Structure 1
Amino acid sequence: MKQVRALRTRRLILQAAADEFDRQGYAGTPLTCVIKAAGISMGALTFHFPAKQDLADAVQAAGIEMTRQGTAHALDLPVSPLAKARALALAIARLLEQSTMVRAAARLTRERSADRPWTGAWLMCMTELLSRAHEEGRLRGEVTPEAFVESVQFLITGIEEYARCAVPGAKGGGTAVCRAARAWDLLLYGAACTNRAG
C-alpha cells in the first residue's frame, strides 16, 4: 500500500513539474510552484527528487520515453520511407499537442545542457528515413536529406511553440497536427521528384 502511494505521489509530482516546466521553463519554475500544483509538501517532493535538477531529469526522461514509443509506432507502418517520415513528423506533432510531458522534455533540452536530448528520440530516425527516400529517388537530387531534416527540425520547433500557446480544445485546421501536415506537404512539394509519389 505504501509503495502504491509513493508511486502515485511520484507520478503526481512529475506531471505537476512537467506542466510548470512547459509553461515557465527550467529557470522560471521554482520548486514552490511544483509543490503547490501537486498539492504536496516540500518534504514529499525532496523525498522523491532531492534537487530541481533531479526533477527536471526525470521529466525529460519521461518525455523522451513517450516520444520513443510514438516514433516506434510510426516506424512500424507498412509504407514507404517518405510516408513513414511524414507519419513520424505528425506523431511528434500530436505528442507535442497532447502532452505537457513531451513539450517540457523538448523545452528542457533547449534550456539545459543535457546528455540525453529530446531530439535523440526521433531525429536520427527521421534522418535515416529521408536518406532512404533520397536513395530511392523520391527527393530531388539537389535536396539533401540533411537539408530536409533541418527544415523538419524548424517545423517541429514551431509546432512545439504553437501547441504551448494554442487555445485548449482548438479544432479543425487549427490543430498542431493539421498545421504540421500542411507544412510537411509544402516542404515535400518543393523537395519531391515530380515523377515520383511519396
Structure 2
Amino acid sequence: MKQVRAVRTRRLILEAAAGEFDRHGYAGTPLACVTKSADISMGALTFHFPTKPALADAVESSGIQLTRRVVGCVAELPVSPLAKARSLALSIARLLEECTMVRAAARLTRERSDQNAWTNAWLTYMTELLGRAHEEGRLRSEVAPAAFAESVQFLITGIEEYVRCTTRGAHGDSTAVRRAARTWDLLLYGALPSD
C-alpha cells in the first residue's frame, strides 16, 4: 500500500512540477510553488526529489519518453518518408498542445541544457526522414535536409510558444496542429521539385 501511495505521490509531484515549469520556466519555479500546486509538504517533495535539478530532470525525462513514443508510432506508419515527416511534425505539435509534461520538457531543455535532449528526441528522426525523401527525389536537389529540418524545428518552437501563450478556444478552430499543418505545407511547397 505504501508503494502505491509513493508512486501516486511521485506522479502528482511530476504533474504539478510540469505545470509550474511550463508556465514559469526553470528559474521562475521555486519548489514552494510545486508543493503548493501538488498540495503536499516540502518533506514529501524532497523525499522523492531531493533537489530542484533532480525534479526538473525527472520532468524532462518524462516528456522525452512521451515524445519518443510518438516518434515510434510515426516510424511504424506505412507511408513515404515525406508523409512520415509531415505526420511527425503534426504529432509533435499535437503533443505540445495537449501535454503539459511535453511542453515543460521542451522548455526545460531549452533553458537548462546545452544538449537539446527533448528536441533531439524527434529532430534526429525528422532529419533522417527528410534525407530519405531527398534521396528519393521528393525534394528539390538544392534543398538540404538538415536546413529543412531546422525550419521544422523553428516551426515547432513557435508552436510551443503559441500554445503556452494562447488561451484555449481564443482563436476558434485555429488549433496549433492546424497552424502547424498550414506552415508545413508552405515549407514543403517551397522544397518540392518543379515538374
Q: TM-score normalized by structure 1?
A: 0.95
Aligned to 2:153: 153
User: Is residue 2:102 matched to residue 1:102?
Assistant: yes
Aligned to 1:63: 63
Cα RMSD, aligned residues only: 1.3
Runs of 4+ in 1 over 6 A off after TM superposition: none
Alignment of 1:77-116 (within 5 A): 77-113=77-113
Report the residue type matching 1:8 in the other structure: R
Q: Which has the higher mean CA deviation after the structures are superposed, 160-169 or 60-69?
A: 160-169
Residues 41-92 of structure 1 show CA distances to partners (whole Å, capped at 9, x for unaligned) of 0000000000000000000000000000011111111100000000000000
Paired residues, number: 195
Q: CA shift at 1:173, angstroms? A: 4.0
Structure 1, unmatched stretches of 5+, are none
Alpha-carbon distance between aligned partners in 2 of 1:186 and 1:116, rounded to the nearest angstrom: 26
Mapped contact 1:95–1:102 kept (Cα < 8 A): yes
Q: CA shift at 1:178, angstroms? A: 0.3
Aligned to 1:168: 168
Mapped contact 1:19–1:100 kept (Cα < 8 A): yes
Q: TM-score normalized by structure 2?
A: 0.97
Q: CA shift at 1:172, angstroms? A: 5.4
Q: CA shift at 1:2, angstroms? A: 0.6
Alpha-carbon distance between aligned partners in 1 of 2:153 and 2:95, rounded to the nearest angstrom: 15
Distance 1:115 1:157, change over 3 A: closer
Distance 1:171 1:72, change over 3 A: farther
Other structure's SS at 1:78 match? coil
Alpha-carbon distance between aligned partners in 1 of 2:171 and 2:61, rounded to the nearest angstrom: 30
